[in-house]
């Protein structure tokens, strides 16, 4: 009885031990054989870590290597955090764009070329100790990161700054909703500057972007108004339909009853000019911007030929795949133009057609370069992180649109628009760089209201497209002012609003030490040098004395008693050349709409004493414009604030 009681606990213990051994053997078999891969993975995960390796996002630079967009690394608690930094702030922000919260481009070049700029992230496998710290000696990068390529734009940072400042000043001066401009090299199609104002700062985390992110040069469809008359002229001249010396009969008024007695159209509106122009040829009609003349030309050209010419210039077609948000515009087909007898004629002076500013700028570039439509270039090249060029873009000619002869004929007309006494672009002319001859065309179009289906006389788009210099065009510059202030005294036309902005842009370029074309001898003297003097308007003796006091070497050119222009010498002797002439005018200029400063500058050159009252801009003057000036005449100006 005693022995049986002792053996039962021993057997139970034996059974328990054997069971545990069996469980351990099964678990070992399960881990090492049946599920070995699963447990190896779990073990590896506990001692290793896998993370993505940042691939540097490509920089965005101007044509000279000045960086617009770069990467910023912020290290906190051993962790690297990369973000995008825009080194030029708001400058060119609508072109460059910005990133979203996930680090992806969501506007501008950052969006268009997001994949190329982003590169390919690498993979790093790290080994960790029991405290989960990485053991770098046992870690390795199993997939190397490939940084994105660096984008080099055709934009010039200095020129971009000049353009953006001129636009900002113009919007404030003319109380406009916005203003835009683009500067193009016509032979290559390279865009040297492009901007709209207001703009935004891509570095700001709080500033709302919205409308300010839009680049109106590519995204604003509008009726071009009179700037379209060069395309009408090209259609007529290229096929010999209308010669430049063609003069149409006039009834002496400013309106043309185009139906000419046909009772079918007696209730239609006549086509009118802004003032009585009379019987003129094509160059004079271009200078005075006659709607009547170019309506007649469009009628003579016909719907089919006119459509083909406009389409050949690129109207109604996107110009590039690289512009985010680019619109196509709207070009009526021949059968649509023929539905209404008046529509074709109004298209002759820029109505019944929707364009984008970049389309019109490239059309004028074709006229400037001798007749070849170029594709606009915004990308100059791509570089790797060692600075090697991996892809260089070449200028792309789309097609020959017109002959060199036709292009030259139109350029002569555009020069008259600026320098003709009745030209609409007189305010684009610069007295600061008188040896640079401009050409250009103004445009003023009322906005079409799609709700009322009528043109809104209180909403306008004013523009000017200029060529500089006209004899060998280096720059084509388009300026567009959206909804300028409707000042009845000053006006709101393209010549009055866009003209001064164009002039300031050109002066800024020609007076910039890095931008001024050496071929025009206008590179500027550095500040605080002996010849850093404005000699303009000085009498001969006064200029000599100032030059002597400053120890500035001067040479004189021309005959006269006053300095009418100056240019820097590029010879070894340095110094400046002062051009002499007479600055007295025989007739009183039109000063209405000018600021007091601008008016005084003009009258100072004429050598007439000025008296003024009030402040703001000139609203009245005596003598009146074009009156003969006599010795001792006193000019009286009345100024008034706008509003």
394-431 pLDDT, tens digit per residue, is 999 999 999 999 999 999 999 999 999 899 999 999 88
For 294-302, what is the mean pLDDT?
96
Query: Residue 268: its pLDDT value, please?
Result: 80
Phi and psi torsions of 587, nearest 5°:
-130, 155
Q: pTM of the prediction?
A: 0.74
Domain assignment of residue 39, yes or no: no
Number of compact structural domains in the chain: 5
Same-domain status, 339 and 238? yes
Please identify, among 510, 543, 573, the residue that sits at the C-terminal boundary of a domain.
510
107 three-state secondary structure: strand
448 three-state secondary structure: strand
CA–CA distance, 342 with 345 (Å, rounded to integer): 5
Same-domain status, 165 and 137? no
The answer to whether residues 398 and 374 touch, using CB atoms and an 8 Å cutoff, is: yes
345-388 pLDDT, tens digit per residue, is 999 999 999 999 999 999 999 999 999 999 999 999 999 999 99
Query: Residue 374: its pLDDT value, please?
Result: 97
Mean of the per-residue pLDDT values for the chain?
83
Domain assignment of residue 588, yes or no: no
Query: Residue 521: its pLDDT value, please?
Result: 45
Domain assignment of residue 586, yes or no: no
CA–CA distance, 222 with 196 (Å, rounded to integer): 15
Same-domain status, 384 and 503? yes
Instruction: Please say if the pLDDT value at position 445 is more than 90.
Output: no
Query: Residue 519: its pLDDT value, please?
Result: 46
CA–CA distance, 612 with 635 (Å, rounded to integer): 8
Domain assignment of residue 464, yes or no: yes
Same-domain status, 541 and 605? no
Domain assignment of residue 520, yes or no: no
Same-domain status, 553 and 456? no
Range of the domain at 437: 157-201+212-510
CA–CA distance, 89 with 105 (Å, rounded to integer): 17
CA–CA distance, 150 with 268 (Å, rounded to integer): 59
Same-domain status, 407 and 466? yes
Domain assignment of residue 41, yes or no: no
CA–CA distance, 38 with 449 (Å, rounded to integer): 70
Query: Residue 539: its pLDDT value, please?
Result: 78
Range scoring the smallest mean pLDDT among 223-232, 238-247, 296-305, 632-641: 632-641
Cis check for the bond before 584: say yes or no (omega within 30 of 0): no
**Confidence band of 460 (pLDDT split at 50, 70, 90):** confident
186-214 pLDDT, tens digit per residue, is 999 999 999 999 998 888 766 556 678 88
**Confidence band of 556 (pLDDT split at 50, 70, 90):** confident
Please identify, among 510, 539, 569, the residue that sits at the C-terminal boundary of a domain.
510
Same-domain status, 217 and 138? no
Domain assignment of residue 517, yes or no: no
Please give the residue that has the higher pLDDT: either 38 or 464: 464
171-190 pLDDT, tens digit per residue, is 999 899 899 999 999 999 99
Instruction: Tell me the CATH number at 558.
Output: 3.30.10
Same-domain status, 184 and 271? yes
Same-domain status, 88 and 119? yes
Same-domain status, 315 and 244? yes
Range scoring the smallest mean pLDDT among 8-17, 100-109, 268-277, 440-449: 8-17
Same-domain status, 400 and 533? no
Identify the CA nearest to 515 among candidates 189, 224, 173, 158: 158
Same-domain status, 173 and 186? yes
Query: Residue 570: its pLDDT value, please?
Result: 44
Give the percent of the chain with pLDDT over 90. Answer: 46
Query: Residue 1: its pLDDT value, please?
Result: 45
Domain assignment of residue 370, yes or no: yes
CA–CA distance, 278 with 255 (Å, rounded to integer): 10
Instruction: Tell me the CATH number at 326.
Output: 3.40.710.10
């Amino acid at each position: 009885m005693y022995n049986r009681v002792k053996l039962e606990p021993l057997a139970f213990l034996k059974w328990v031990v054997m069971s545990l051994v069996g469980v351990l053997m099964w678990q070992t078999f399960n881990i090492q054989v049946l599920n070995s891969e699963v447990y190896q993975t779990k073990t590896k995960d506990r001692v290793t870590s896998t993370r993505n390796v940042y691939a540097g996002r490509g920089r965005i630079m101007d044509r000279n290597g000045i960086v617009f967009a770069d990467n910023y690394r912020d290290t906190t608690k051993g962790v690297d955090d990369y973000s995008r930094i825009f080194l030029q702030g708001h400058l060119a922000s609508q072109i460059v764009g910005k990133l979203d919260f996930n680090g992806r481009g969501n506007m501008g070049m950052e969006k268009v070329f997001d994949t190329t700029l982003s590169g390919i992230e690498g993979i790093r496998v790290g080994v960790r100790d029991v405290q989960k710290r990485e053991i770098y000696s046992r870690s390795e990068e199993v997939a190397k990161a490939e940084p994105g390529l660096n984008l080099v734009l055709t934009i010039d940072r200095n020129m971009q700054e000049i353009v953006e400042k001129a636009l900002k000043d113009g919007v404030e001066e003319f109380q406009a909703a916005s203003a835009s401009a683009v500067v193009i090299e016509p032979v290559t199609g390279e865009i040297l500057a492009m901007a709209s104002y207001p703009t935004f700062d891509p570095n700001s985390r709080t500033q709302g972007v919205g409308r300010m992110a839009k680049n109106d040069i590519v995204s604003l469809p509008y009726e071009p108004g009179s700037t379209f008359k060069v395309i009408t002229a090209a259609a007529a001249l290229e096929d010999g339909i209308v010669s430049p010396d063609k003069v149409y009969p006039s009834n002496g008024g400013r309106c043309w009853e185009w139906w000419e007695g046909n009772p079918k159209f007696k209730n239609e509106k006549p086509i009118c000019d802004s003032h009585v122009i009379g019987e003129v040829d094509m160059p004079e009609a271009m200078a005075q911007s006659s709607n009547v003349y170019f309506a007649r030309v469009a009628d003579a050209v016909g719907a089919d030929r006119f459509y083909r010419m406009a389409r050949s210039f690129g109207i109604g077609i996107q110009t590039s795949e690289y512009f985010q948000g680019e619109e196509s515009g709207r070009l009526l087909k021949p059968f649509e133009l023929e539905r209404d007898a008046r529509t074709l004629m109004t298209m002759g002076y820029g109505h019944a057609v929707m364009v984008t500013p970049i389309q019109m700028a490239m059309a004028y570039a074709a006229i400037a370069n001798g007749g070849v439509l170029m594709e606009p270039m915004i990308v100059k090249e791509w570089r790797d992180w060692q600075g090697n060029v991996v892809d260089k873009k070449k200028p792309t000619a789309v097609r020959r649109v017109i002959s060199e002869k036709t292009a030259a004929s139109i350029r002569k007309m555009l020069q008259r628009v600026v320098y003709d006494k009745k030209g609409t672009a007189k305010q684009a002319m610069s007295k600061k760089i008188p040896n640079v001859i401009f050409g250009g065309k103004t445009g003023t179009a009322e906005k079409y209201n799609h709700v009322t289906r009528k043109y809104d006389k209180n909403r306008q788009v004013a523009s000017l497209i200029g060529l500089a210099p006209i004899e060998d065009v280096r720059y084509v510059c388009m300026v567009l002012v959206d909804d300028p202030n409707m000042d009845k005294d000053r006006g709101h036309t393209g010549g009055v609003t866009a003209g001064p902005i164009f002039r300031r842009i050109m002066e800024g370029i020609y007076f910039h030490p890095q931008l001024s074309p050496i071929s025009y001898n206008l590179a500027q003297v550095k500040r605080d040098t002996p010849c850093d003097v404005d000699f303009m308007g000085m009498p001969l003796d006064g200029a000599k004395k100032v030059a002597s006091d400053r120890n500035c070497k001067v040479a004189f050119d021309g005959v006269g008693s006053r300095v009418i222009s100056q240019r820097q010498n590029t010879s070894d002797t340095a110094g400046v050349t002062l051009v002499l002439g007479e600055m007295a005018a025989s007739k009183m200029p039109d000063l209405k709409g000018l600021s007091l400063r601008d008016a005084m500058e003009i009258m100072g050159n004429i050598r007439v004493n000025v008296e003024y009252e009030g402040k703001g801009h000139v609203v009245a003057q005596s003598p009146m414009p074009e009156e003969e000036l006599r010795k001792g005449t006193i000019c009286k100006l009345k100024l008034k604030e706008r509003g």
